[in-house]
Amino acid sequence: MGLQINYAHSDRGGPSYGLTFPSEPPLFSPSWWELVGWFMGEAKQRGLAISLSDYTLGVGQGWSVEEVLKANPDLQGSVLKAETKETEGDREFLWQLAAQPLAISACRLAGGQAVADSLTDLRGLVQGDLLRWPAPAGRWRVVAVRAERVAPSLDPMHPRSGAAYAGKFFGQFTDRHPDEGGKGLNFFFSDELEFRVGGHLWNARFAEEFRQRKGYDIVPELAALFTDLGPRTPKVRLDFSAVQVALTEEGFFKPVFDWHQQRGMIYGCDHGGRGRNVVEFGDYFRTQRWNQGPGCDQPGLSSDIIKNKVASSISHLYLRPPH
């Protein structure tokens, strides 16, 4: 059994919800760590262990994640955004772009639908922020895709994100109590995980990782994530999602799981929609298997069979110990 240290938030400040209520002693101050050491000792005398929940302590809240991002600004995430215009061809098409595009392409339309195999890569026709394209006859849809940095945020696809998070947040406990992993410190709990990036994620490694895993260049076809480009559209979307989720597992979720596993500790969670949004974190079921204790909350003494079933199924299928 264990006792969890947990902080509540106010209704003011912070990018997602209010900032953590102040405490006495102040959170993570020398006197706070002294109190935690005393608390762990008292708990052990009673056959208990202690832990800390990350609730109110995540991205943008001013705690350990901010220290990680300050030391590693490349760990901040980016999200793909798109703008679309349509034009009649057989004349020059000019588009003053709001930002330098990562990809810009056009597809021919017939009856409002994309014509198969008509995708045309226009990146070579952009000079500065101006696209100048002598569009062939017919009606065309032009899509410009850009990567937009989100600050503050944590990129779960970055290969160092999970290790940096675990080392700075959980590691501060084991650094002070190196012999207590799996003993006086036997678990951590993640609540309301928020990277502050969602949807179509992007980073500097993604295009090359995609090429290696799927065998083709995703950049000219990024428009398919935002508009129908014909029969190939589902493949591009599924391939993009598969790579994004794999990188998210490898970059964040599995390293955090492994950090706890190596120390004989449990990592429990109450993440996001608890399975009601199947594409949360790219793939809720696939990413949340990387918790020793997948779980969900039941506010107001309610009972939610969907949340419970998702957590139970993850635990059973991936042989996670029951908690």
- Asked whether the predicted pLDDT for residue 323 surpasses 60, the reply is no
Q: Are 115 and 107 in contact (CB under 8 A)?
A: yes
pLDDT, tens digit, 9 for 90 and up, residues 146-172: 999 999 999 999 999 999 999 999 999
Residue 213 lies in a domain: no
> 117 and 101, same structural domain?
yes
pLDDT, tens digit, 9 for 90 and up, residues 248-305: 999 999 999 999 999 999 999 999 889 889 999 999 999 999 999 998 888 788 888 9
Closest CA to 293 of 272, 268, 274, 261: 268
DSSP secondary structure string, 205-257?
THHHHHHHHHSS--GGGGGGGTS--STTHHHHHHHHHHHHHHHHIIIIIHHHH
User: Count of domains in the chain?
Assistant: 2
| Residue 6: other Cβ atoms inside 10 A | 14
Whose tokens are 């195999």? That residue is: 117
Residue 237 lies in a domain: no
pLDDT, tens digit, 9 for 90 and up, residues 180-189: 999 999 999 9
> 96 and 7, same structural domain?
no
pLDDT, tens digit, 9 for 90 and up, residues 80-125: 999 999 999 899 999 999 889 999 999 999 998 999 999 999 999 9
Mean pLDDT of the chain: 94
Residue 220 lies in a domain: no
Domain that holds residue 99: 78-149
Cα distance between residue 145 and residue 82, in whole Å:
4
Q: What is the pLDDT of residue 322?
A: 56
* Predicted structure pTM score: 0.94
Percent share of the chain, pLDDT over 70 = 99
| C-alpha distances in Å from residue 239, one per residue of 114, 116, 232 | 20, 19, 11
| 8-22, 65-79, 115-129: least confidently modelled range | 8-22
Q: What is the pLDDT of residue 15?
A: 84
Residue 283 lies in a domain: yes
How confident is the model over 141-148, as a mean pLDDT? 97
Burial class (CB in 10 A: 0-12, 13-18, 19+), 96: exposed
Domain boundary among 149, 175, 194: 149
> 24 and 127, same structural domain?
no
For residue 235, the cross-strand partners are none
> 31 and 135, same structural domain?
no
> 264 and 254, same structural domain?
yes
> 197 and 53, same structural domain?
yes
Whose tokens are 């990129």? That residue is: 155
Q: Are 138 and 108 in contact (CB under 8 A)?
A: yes
